[in-house]
């Protein structure tokens, strides 16, 4: 009995179909891009025509925010700014809070002294290695 030949016709025909579909999609995309380019140029021409038409009818375009009737002239110079807060004098506040505390203290003690800035003060002191956690509270590290 003779050997059968392998069938490769199906795969080859499928690949040719895919190639043809890709080529068709590529040409369709290119024609779409060309159409978009043409439409964009036509639109640009129409916009330019509209601008010139309006200029002929109404004159120069009005500036936005320009001075019209009933609008006072703006004073030339710098714009007014909000007044600045006065600079704080003396040592940083966290330092003042730190001096008021004893050698061992709790979070409640810091809250009594620092108020809502207690968390910030604790974070500053721990980063600077000035306090450490001790039991339920904190302890000052001798310098």
Q: Percentage of residues in the chain with pLDDT exceeding 90?
A: 25
Which residues, 6+ apart, have CB-to-CB distance to 101 below 8 Å? 109, 110, 113, 140
- At 132, give phi and psi (nearest 5°): -145, 155
Asked if residues 97 and 70 have their Cβ atoms less than 8 Å apart, the reply is no
- Of 22 and 84, which is predicted with more confidence? 22
Report the pLDDT averaged over residues 16-26: 94
> What rounded mean pLDDT belongs to the chain?
84
As a whole number of angstroms, the distance between CA 84 and CA 82 comes to: 6
């Amino acid at each position: 009995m003779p050997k059968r030949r392998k069938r490769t016709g199906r795969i080859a025909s499928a690949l040719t179909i895919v190639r043809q579909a890709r080529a068709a999609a590529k040409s369709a995309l290119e024609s779409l891009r060309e159409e978009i380019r043409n439409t964009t140029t036509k639109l640009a021409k129409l916009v330019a025509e509209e601008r010139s038409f309006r200029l002929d009818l109404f004159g120069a375009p009005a500036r936005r925010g320009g001075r019209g009737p009933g609008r006072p002239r703006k004073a030339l110079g710098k714009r007014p700014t909000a007044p600045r807060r006065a600079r704080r004098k003396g040592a940083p506040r966290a330092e003042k809070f730190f001096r008021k505390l004893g050698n061992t203290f709790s979070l409640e003690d810091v809250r009594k002294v620092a108020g809502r800035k207690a968390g910030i003060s604790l974070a500053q002191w721990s980063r600077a290695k000035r306090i450490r956690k001790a039991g339920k509270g904190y302890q000052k590290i001798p310098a």
